[in-house]
């Protein structure tokens, strides 16, 4: 089951550069939430703060509160615990090149010490089916490297890999930016199906996509969350002038 | 092309011509350089074969050296001794070197400590091999009051560490960061990410580095002179003086006897074939599990 996320006064830096300014927001459980905004406005930085990936960069720093349900992720848990519960699909596909397709999907379980073959087989098939990749790779599962398939297939592989560990929250940073329209539609279907069980946060440059999959949408601009509201409201009747300018294509 | 005006067609064909000339030139230079590298290698091998092969027989691989004047004899003990010393050196040097490389690449990036370790490794790399022998002599031989294969193995291990450490570091640096992030993002602990993702992705290069280090120390004589010392008889005890091919070759080559000179050539041939065989074996072994379309 998904869990809600409450962000309070979140600030983030890369070295001296202040990238996120006082972000406050409530992401409801078992819904899809879209984040939009021009390039460089801090969307990736924001989602990376939600699973504590931001701090893997030695120069980076974050301050503020992120509550996952009751859990303060920066106080009450280790990064490793948080990342097991908050899965992530990155902006660019990053399969493990030395592992087979099967091992890529199973990696989250295997590398955490889980070894039961029968369960792994099941999880791999289920996750690949969820990511709409099963039919294309089922004959090469253990023969082909994760890096040997097409970019779009790689991205779906990365989604399957994230799903295999059964997270409660799924962060997707422009998951469809490298995909063709057919694969994109598959991913959107997937998000639609998944959001009854997971809390999904999806960063996207594609406003139609946000409108199609997400109940709520947040608009970021220069490191600030300008507006956060129901997706229909953001796209039809935004309260902030800057949001309106952005969605009508007047800048960004 | 045919639709272009005459002038630009002329320019276009000139550009095409220049490109193809440049292309052929660069290809030619590459081929010539390859040949220049291969010629001495093949020449050395050929000369070794010519000088050494005639003295190779079964006895060479099964018998220990005999006194001057006696016919026959071989280097069986030196072959085994070399294998033992090199095995020990690899067992000590490779894990240590890889460990240091991992520390440099994954934990100490940009730190003061990392810079110090890196600098030390580079200096160590430039230290003459005889000095390594002296170090092992004063560390082990002088303390134990006797020569030993162990001391020889340690001397060679110390020589392997900097090469292995620096190649490991450089190979790990070529592993794209998003791949590490993928592992960390799945909630895989850092140590596990380093072992199963970073090291595994970089392993072809790291194996090459280890093989280079191995091949380099396999032919070393100086560090063994006052550590392993050499032995005319069978010995399987690493705590005792032990024979080694480079030592045996050294002794035989400097002797005034023709028979011993021939054996020295044969020994050199065996040494180089042994090195090539181990490198090839490791390559085959390392490639066994490779996947279609990996790298
Ligand atoms: N590793 C980094 N080191 C230093 N600065 C960074 C780093 N990553 C991002 N930044 C800076 O932080 C700001 C926000 O970047 P971020 O990647 O979060 O933007 P984004 O909204 O995801 O953009 P895009 O839509 O192009 O992916 C940018 O100004 C960027 O230059
Ligand atoms: Mg981004």
Residue B1: per-residue pLDDT: 47
Distance in Å, CA A216 to ligand 2 centroid = 19
Among candidate residues A100, A213, A199, A119, the one with its CA nearest the CA of residue A164 = A119
- Give the residue among A154, A164, A163 at the shortest CA–CA distance from A133: A154
- Residue A241 structural domain: 5-95+168-247
Cα→Cα distances B250→A49, A207, A249, B79, B245, Å:
64, 77, 80, 14, 8
Both B87 and B127 in one domain: the answer is: yes
Ligand 2 centroid to residue A38 C-alpha, Å? 10
Find the chain B residues whose C-beta atoms sit closer than 8 A to any C-beta of A: 109-110, 176, 178-189, 192-193, 196-197, 200-201, 203, 291-295
pLDDT for position B4: 58
Selecting from B182, B189, B293 the residue whose C-beta is nearest the C-beta of A145 gives B293
CATH code of B210's domain: 1.10.3720.10
What is the distance in angstroms between the Cα of A185 and the nearest Cα belonging to chain B? 24
Distances (CA, A) of A130 to A108, B131, B145: 16, 62, 69
Nearest to B291 among A81, A88, A145 (CB): A145
Q: Residue B241, SS3? A: coil
Pairing, β A71-72 against β A224-230: unpaired
- Mark whether B42 and B67 lie in a shared domain: no
The CB of A92 under 6 Å from ligand 1? The reply is: no
With the CA atoms of B71, B77, B80 and B82 taken in that order, what torsion angle do they form, in degrees rounded to the nearest 10? -100
Phi, psi of A237 (to 5 degrees): -150, 60
A156 C-alpha to ligand 1 centroid (Å): 24
Ligand 1 pocket, mutate which of A16, A36, A42 (most atoms under 8 A from CB): A42
pTM for the full predicted model = 0.86
Q: How many domains does chain A have?
A: 1
Same domain, B29 and B78: no
Please judge whether A96 and B291 are an interchain contact, meaning their C-beta atoms are less than 8 angstroms apart.
no
Domain assignment of residue A207, yes or no: yes
- Give mean pLDDT, residues A30-37: 95
Residue A101 located in a structural domain: no
Task: Look up the domain containing B258 and give its range.
Answer: 58-294
pLDDT for A105-123, tens place per residue?
999 999 998 989 999 999 9
A184 vs B288: CA distance, rounded Å:
37
The whole-angstrom separation of Cα A34 and Cα A188 is 12
Long-range contacts of A187-193 (CB under 8 A, 24+ apart): A187/A132, A187/A155, A187/A156, A187/A159, A188/A212, A188/A213, A189/A132, A190/A130, A190/A131, A190/A132, A190/A159, A191/A32, A192/A32, A193/A130
Instruction: Please indicate whether, in this complex, the C-beta atoms of A148 and B293 are within 8 angstroms of each other.
Output: yes
**How far does the centroid of ligand 1 lie from the alpha carbon of residue A44, in Å?**
7
Q: Which residue stretches of chain A are H helix? A: 43-50, 79-85, 101-110, 117-130, 134-137, 151-164, 181-194, 207-213, 231-236, 241-247
B20 and B32 belong to one structural domain: yes
Same domain, B30 and B168: no
Same domain, B84 and B214: yes
The partner residue sitting opposite A83, judged by closest CB among B185, B200, B201, is: B185
Q: How many domains does chain B have?
A: 2
To the nearest whole angstrom, how far is the Cα of A240 from the nearest Cα of chain B? 34
CB neighbour list of residue B53: distance below 8 Å, 6 or more residues apart: B266, B269
- The pick from A36, A43, A92, A221 for probing ligand 1's pocket by mutation, whose C-beta has the most ligand atoms within 8 angstroms, reads A43
Render pLDDT for A59-101 as a digit per residue (tens, 0 to 9).
999 999 999 999 999 999 999 999 999 999 998 899 999 999 9
Asked whether residue A142 is assigned to any structural domain, the reply reads no
**pLDDT in the model for residue B295:** 46
ipTM: 0.92
Report residue B256 CA to chain centroid gap.
32
What is the least distance, in Å, from the CA of B227 to any CA of chain A?
Answer: 41
| Atom 17 of ligand 1, residue of closest alpha carbon | A44
Write down the pLDDT at residue B64.
Answer: 87
Is A159 part of a structural domain of the chain? no
* C-alpha torsion angle, residues A194, A195, A198, A199 (rounded to 10): 140
Domain termination residue (choose one: B35, B55, B75) = B55
For residue A205, give the CATH number of its domain.
Answer: 3.40.50.300
Per-residue pLDDT tens digits of chain B, which is 295 residues long: 455 566 666 677 778 888 889 999 999 999 999 999 999 989 998 999 998 888 888 888 988 888 887 877 889 999 999 999 999 999 999 999 999 999 999 999 889 999 999 999 999 999 999 999 999 999 999 999 999 999 999 999 999 999 999 999 999 999 999 999 999 999 999 999 999 999 999 999 999 999 999 999 999 999 999 898 888 888 888 888 898 999 999 999 999 998 889 999 999 999 999 999 988 988 888 877 666 554 4
Q: Is A204 in the pocket of ligand 1 (CB under 6 A)?
A: no
Task: Assess if residue A202 is contained within a domain.
Answer: yes
Nearest chain A CA: its distance from B112 CA (Å): 14
- Interface A-B, measured as beta-carbon pairs within 8 A, has a size of 94
Q: Considering the domain boundaries, does residue A55 fall inside one?
A: yes
Say which residue the tokens 């889980």 belong to: A114
Residues B40 and B172 both lie in one domain: no
Identify whether A152 is part of a domain: no
Q: Are B19 and B97 found together in one domain?
A: no
B33 and B178 housed in the same domain: no
- How far, in Å, CA of A87 to CA of A90, rounded? 10
Q: Is position A75 within any domain?
A: yes
B101 and B152 share a domain? yes
Shared domain for B158 and B47, answered yes or no, is no
Same domain, yes or no: B205 and B127: yes
Q: Which of B109, B186, B201 sits opposite A98 (nearest CB)?
A: B201
* Distances from the Cα of A32 to the Cα of A194, A220, B52, B234, angstroms: 9, 17, 75, 75
Residues of A in contact with B295 (CB under 8 A): 97, 145, 147
With a 6 Å cutoff on the Cβ, whether A48 touches ligand 1 is: no
Residue closest by Cα to atom 16 of ligand 1 = A42
């Amino acid at each position: 089951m998904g869990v809600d996320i409450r962000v309070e006064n979140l600030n983030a830096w890369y070295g001296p550069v202040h990238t996120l300014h006082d972000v406050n927001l409530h992401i409801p459980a078992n819904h899809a939430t879209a984040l939009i905004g021009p390039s460089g406005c801090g969307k990736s930085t924001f989602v990376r703060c939600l699973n504590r990936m931001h701090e893997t960069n030695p120069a980076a720093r974050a301050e503020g509160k992120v509550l996952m349900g009751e859990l303060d992720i920066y106080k009450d848990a280790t990064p490793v615990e948080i990342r097991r519960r908050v899965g992530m699909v990155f902006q660019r596909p990053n399969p493990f090149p030395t592992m087979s397709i099967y091992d890529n999907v199973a990696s989250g379980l295997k590398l955490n010490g889980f070894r039961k073959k029968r369960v792994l087989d099941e999880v791999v098939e289920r996750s690949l089916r969820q990511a709409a990749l099963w039919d294309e790779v089922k004959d090469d599962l253990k023969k082909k490297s994760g890096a040997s398939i097409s970019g779009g297939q790689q991205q779906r592989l990365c989604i399957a890999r994230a799903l295999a560990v059964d997270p409660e929250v799924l962060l997707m940073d422009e998951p469809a930016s490298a995909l063709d329209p057919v694969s994109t539609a598959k991913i959107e279907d997937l998000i639609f199906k998944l959001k009854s069980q997971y809390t999904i946060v999806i960063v996207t440059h594609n406003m139609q996509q946000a409108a199609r999959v997400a109940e709520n949408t947040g608009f970021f601009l220069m490191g600030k969350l300008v507006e956060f509201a129901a997706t229909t409201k953001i796209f039809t009747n935004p309260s902030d002038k800057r949001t309106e300018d952005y969605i009508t294509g007047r800048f960004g | 092309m045919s639709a272009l005006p005459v002038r630009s067609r002329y320019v276009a064909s000139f550009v095409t011509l220049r490109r193809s000339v440049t292309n052929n030139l660069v290809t030619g230079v590459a081929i010539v350089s390859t040949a220049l590298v291969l010629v001495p290698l093949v020449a050395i091998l050929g000369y070794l074969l010519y000088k050494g092969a005639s003295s190779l027989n079964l006895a060479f691989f099964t018998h220990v050296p005999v006194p001057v004047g006696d016919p026959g004899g071989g280097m069986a003990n030196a072959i085994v001794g070399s294998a033992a010393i090199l095995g020990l050196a690899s067992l000590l040097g490779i894990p240590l070197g890889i460990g240091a490389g991992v520390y440099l690449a994954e934990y100490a990036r940009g730190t003061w400590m990392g810079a110090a370790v890196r600098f030390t490794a580079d200096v160590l790399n430039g230290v003459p091999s005889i000095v390594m022998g002296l170090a092992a002599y004063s560390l082990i031989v002088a303390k134990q009051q006797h020569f030993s294969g162990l001391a020889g193995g340690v001397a060679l291990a110390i020589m392997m560490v900097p090469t292995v450490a620096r190649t490991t570091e450089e190979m790990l640096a070529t592993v794209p960061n998003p791949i590490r992030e993928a592992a960390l993002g799945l909630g895989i602990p850092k140590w596990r990410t380093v072992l199963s993702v970073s090291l595994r992705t970089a392993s072809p290069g790291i194996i090459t580095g280890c093989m280079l280090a191995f091949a380099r120390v396999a032919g070393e004589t100086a560090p063994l002179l006052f550590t392993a010392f050499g032995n005319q008889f069978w010995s399987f005890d690493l705590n005792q003086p032990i024979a080694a091919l480079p030592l045996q070759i050294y002794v035989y080559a400097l002797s005034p006897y023709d028979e011993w000179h021939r054996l020295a050539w044969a020994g050199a041939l065996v040494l180089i074939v042994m090195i090539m065989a181990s490198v090839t074996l490791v390559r085959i072994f390392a490639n066994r599990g490779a996947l279609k379309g990996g790298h």
